[in-house]
């Protein structure tokens, strides 16, 4: 029986090495992404030992990009994306223009043609979708204003690169060093190609907004009513992959953009959260394969062969791009914290850069050395990007002072009432509490003796309604802006942010109780641990889907854990009507 299975070998060896090096990286307090990239270098043709199939790894990585962008779209709405157009569109275009000019300057220094310089500069100007989104998700800021600006910026870059990829073959006569051969007829052909590309992108957007907005949610609701979780999962994957593939084949739009629009349209459905949870395991696995495929492209020898050119390339990616993004965001009146986050997010390059330089080399516009420099810049910038965020975290107090923001010191501790008081003793609703800014996106509360509610989904909404009815002072932390807007309109204090970083706004040292109503046990555990450290006497209530999750939360400091399955079972038994036949008689009859 033949055992030549390059696909299986690439997946198995790649994931196993990624696990080993990722675990080592995490152990030494470095981002696991570093481990994934090193695993890719080990599997590449430039290091001894097993060599994986590069083309297969790249295609598998594309699936990771599709699922990642689909998941991001599920957490966005058209309204949220439209709200940042005023900064994302001019910001991205301005940053691409400046970075491209820097790249053309370096190319001129190296003796390359205008076409090589333009291709090289464009490749250095666009950030990696996967790296940027992973950085935002790890810090749980993707649903904040900073996150929306970064994703909007990324979408604009995506669209610009789509135009560049389509136009590059058409403008080769203008860029191959023979500019004088340009004719009015040639310029007309280029303008026609540009107009046709814009028309195709516009047609894709219109079809997704008009047809997809009705068809995609209807398909999921139809499948969900059938009761098969397996078919529902298959429907979600089919929609994500099908929209991405169709967008590329029919409209020449990138996989990432097609998947993003599919997710964003589905986000308006009530099933969006379930759809997101179904794609999460596959999304994470294939995202790892993306970093492996990047590592496989890297030739470490270029660091010794041409170190000055590598350093100059890195300077454009890490310094020039970041400085331009920082200046643009500040010019639009955004806080220093927001500007620094956008700048750090964009200080790397990735998948579009590889596609662009590959096309440039194939068309004869760019020397192979240019591709090697882009690959070196990509992998080193991806390795260094987590360190930029570490530096950003350390600089946060300084940035907050520049924005005129300061942490409010907690008032003196007050006595904490017994746990039963959460339900048994309604507290008079206080006057609206004054608020003090904590950071550029979060506002702290000055309430005391209040209950903090994390998450306002189905369970959180029921809890919140009950507490409001009982006149218990309440502070809510919820990721979705629209929900927070409704809470504030109803007179309930709330912030739109992810819980772990937003706990500082909840005044936990003087809170009465904390109720964690989010489904993710790992994230809930982080919240419980931080809250217990902030207030050892705080009464913390969480919920778990299994006994193992309940034990995990209890060990981290939860005072009480409500087991969903046990509570449902107890409620069902309590609702059972008395049996008309005594139990002893029924046993005797049997």
Lowest mean pLDDT segment, chosen from 376-390, 406-420, 463-477: 406-420
70/432: higher pLDDT: 70
| CA distance linking residue 426 with residue 429, whole number of Å | 9
According to DSSP, the residues that pair with 435 across neighbouring strands are 445
What tokens does 83 get?
Answer: 């709200």
Whole-number average pLDDT of the chain:
80
Q: Report, at the CATH architecture level, how domain 6-397 is classified.
A: Up-down Bundle (1.20)
- Of 143, 128, 162, the closest CA to residue 267 belongs to 143
pLDDT higher than 70, residue 547: yes
* Res. 17 pLDDT band, cuts 50 70 90: very high
CATH number corresponding to 421-574:
3.40.50.720
Q: What angle do CA 255, 260, 266 make, to 5 degrees?
A: 130
How far apart are alpha carbons 282 and 292 in whole angstroms? Answer: 16
Task: Using alpha carbons, list the distances in angstroms from residue 482 to 80, 496, 538.
Answer: 9, 9, 29
- pLDDT value for 81: 66
- Residue 406 to residue 436: CA distance in whole angstroms: 9
Asked, colleague to colleague, whether 6-397 and 421-574 share their fold, the answer is no
Q: Record the pTM.
A: 0.65
Share of the chain above pLDDT 70, in %: 84
Say how far apart CA 454 and CA 542 lie, in whole Å: 10
Query: Per-residue pLDDT averaged across 85-97, rounded?
Result: 90
Q: What is the pLDDT of residues 119-171, one digit of tens each?
A: 999 999 998 877 887 788 777 677 677 888 888 888 888 778 877 876 777 67
pLDDT digits (tens, 9 = 90+) for 499-517: 777 888 898 999 999 999 9
pLDDT score, position 202: 84
Q: What residues does each domain of the chain span?
A: 6-397, 421-574
Output the pLDDT for position 580. 59
CB 147 within 8 A of CB 370: no
Helix (H, G, I), strand (E, B) or coil at 52: coil
Q: How far apart are CA 267 and CA 269, in angstroms?
A: 5
Distances (CA, A) of 37 to 42, 69, 292, 356, 358: 9, 21, 5, 21, 20
Residues whose CB falls within 8 Å of the CB of residue 284, separated by 6 or more in sequence, listed in order: none
Which pLDDT belongs to residue 216? 85
| Residue 450: per-residue pLDDT | 92
Q: What is the pLDDT of residue 327?
A: 93
- Grade residue 351 by pLDDT with cuts at 50, 70 and 90: confident
**Residue at token pair 């705080």:** 538
Strand partners, 453: 476, 515
Question: Phi and psi (nearest 5°) for 478?
Answer: -140, 145
Partnered with residue 496 across adjacent β-strands are: 478
Contact 550, 428 (CB under 8 A): no
Q: Which two tokens stand for residue 346?
A: 């964009």
Q: How far separated are the first and last CA of the chain, in Å rounded? A: 58
pLDDT at 186: 60
Nearest CA to 64 out of 208, 234, 237, 219 is that of: 237
What's residue 412's pLDDT?
37
How does residue 421 score in pLDDT terms, banded at 50, 70 and 90?
A: very low
CA distances from 264 to 80, 88, 104 (A): 10, 17, 36
Where is average pLDDT lowest: 119-123, 179-183, 215-219, 392-396?
A: 179-183
Average pLDDT over residues 436-465: 78
- Residue 424: the pLDDT is 36
Are 177 and 369 spatial neighbours (Cβ–Cβ below 8 Å)?
no
Q: What is the pLDDT of residue 78?
A: 66
Q: List the single range of 176-180, 246-250, 481-485 with lowest mean pLDDT.
A: 176-180
Q: Residues 497, 442: contact at Cβ < 8 Å?
A: yes
All residues at 6 or more sequence positions from 102 whose CB lies less than 8 Å from its CB, including other chains: 121, 124, 316, 320
Name the token pair of 167. 């136009």
Average pLDDT over residues 443-470: 88
How many other β-carbons are positioned within 10 Å of the β-carbon of residue 582? 9
> What average pLDDT score do residues 1-28 get?
84
Burial 35-44 (b: 16+ CB within 10 A, else e): bbbbbbbbbb
Give me the mean pLDDT over the 37-50 stretch. 86
- Higher pLDDT: 426 or 328? It is 328
Q: Which two structure tokens, joined as six digits, stand for 469?
A: 């009815």
| pLDDT tens per residue across span 171-204 | 776 666 544 455 555 667 767 777 887 788 888 8
Four-CA torsion 9, 383, 402, 493, nearest 10 degrees: 10
């Amino acid at each position: 029986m033949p055992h030549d299975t390059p696909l299986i070998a690439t997946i198995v060896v790649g994931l196993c090495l990624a696990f080993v090096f990722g675990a080592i990286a995490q152990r030494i307090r470095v981002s696991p992404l570093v481990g994934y990239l090193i695993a890719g270098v080990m599997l590449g043709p430039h290091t001894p030992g097993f060599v994986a199939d590069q083309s297969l790894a790249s295609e598998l990585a594309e699936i990771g990009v599709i699922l990642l962008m689909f998941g991001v779209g599920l957490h966005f709405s058209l309204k949220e994306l439209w709200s940042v157009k005023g900064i994302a569109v001019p910001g991205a275009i301005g940053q691409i223009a400046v970075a491209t000019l820097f790249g053309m300057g370096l190319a001129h220094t190296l003796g390359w043609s205008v076409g090589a310089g333009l291709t090289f500069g464009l490749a250095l100007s666009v950030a990696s979708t996967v790296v940027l989104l992973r950085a935002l998700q790890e810090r749980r800021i993707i649903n904040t204003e900073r996150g929306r600006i970064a994703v909007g910026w990324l979408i604009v870059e995506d669209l610009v690169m789509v135009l560049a990829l389509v136009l590059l073959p058409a403008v080769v006569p203008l860029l191959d060093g023979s500019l004088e051969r340009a004719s009015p007829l040639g310029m007309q052909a280029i303008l026609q190609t540009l107009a046709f590309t814009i028309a195709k992108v516009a047609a894709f957007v219109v079809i997704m907004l008009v047809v997809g907005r009705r068809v995609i949610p209807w398909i999921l609701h139809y499948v969900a009513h059938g009761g098969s979780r397996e078919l529902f999962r298959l429907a979600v994957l089919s929609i994500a992959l099908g929209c991405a593939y169709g967008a590329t084949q029919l409209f020449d739009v990138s996989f990432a953009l097609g998947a993003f629009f599919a997710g964003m349209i589905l986000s308006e459905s009530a099933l969006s959260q379930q759809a997101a949870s179904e794609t999460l395991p596959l999304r994470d696995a294939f995202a790892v394969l993306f970093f492996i495929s990047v590592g496989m492209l890297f030739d470490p020898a270029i660091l010794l062969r041409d170190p000055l050119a590598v350093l100059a390339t890195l300077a454009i990616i890490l310094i020039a791009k970041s400085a331009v993004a920082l200046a643009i965001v500040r010019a639009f009146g955004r806080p220093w914290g927001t500007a620094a986050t956008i700048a750090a997010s964009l200080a790397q390059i990735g998948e579009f850069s590889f596609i662009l330089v590959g096309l440039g080399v194939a068309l004869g516009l760019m020397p192979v050395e240019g591709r090697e420099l882009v690959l070196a810049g990509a992998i080193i910038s991806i390795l260094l990007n987590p360190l930029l965020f570490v530096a950003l975290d350390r600089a946060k107090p300084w940035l907050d002072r520049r924005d005129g923001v300061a942490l409010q010191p907690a008032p003196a501790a007050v006595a904490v009432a017994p746990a039963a008081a959460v339900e048994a003793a309604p507290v008079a609703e206080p006057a609206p509490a004054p608020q003090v800014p904590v950071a550029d996106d979060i506002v702290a509360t000055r309430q005391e003796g209040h209950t903090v509610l994390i998450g306002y989904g189905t369970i959180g909404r029921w809890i919140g309604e009950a507490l409001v009815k009982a006149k218990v002072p309440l502070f809510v932390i919820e990721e979705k802006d629209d929900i927070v807007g409704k809470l504030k309109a109803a007179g309930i204090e709330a912030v739109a942010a992810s819980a772990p970083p937003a706990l500082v706004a909840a005044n936990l040292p003087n809170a009465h109780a904390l109720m964690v109503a989010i489904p993710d046990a790992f994230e809930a555990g982080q919240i419980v641990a931080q809250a217990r450290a902030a207030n050892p006497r705080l009464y913390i209530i969480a919920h778990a889907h299994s006994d193992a999750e309940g034990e995990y939360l209890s060990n981290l400091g939860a005072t009480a854990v409500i087991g969903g399955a046990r509570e449902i079972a107890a409620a069902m038994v309590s609702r059972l009507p008395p049996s008309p036949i005594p139990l002893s008689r029924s046993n005797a009859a049997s």
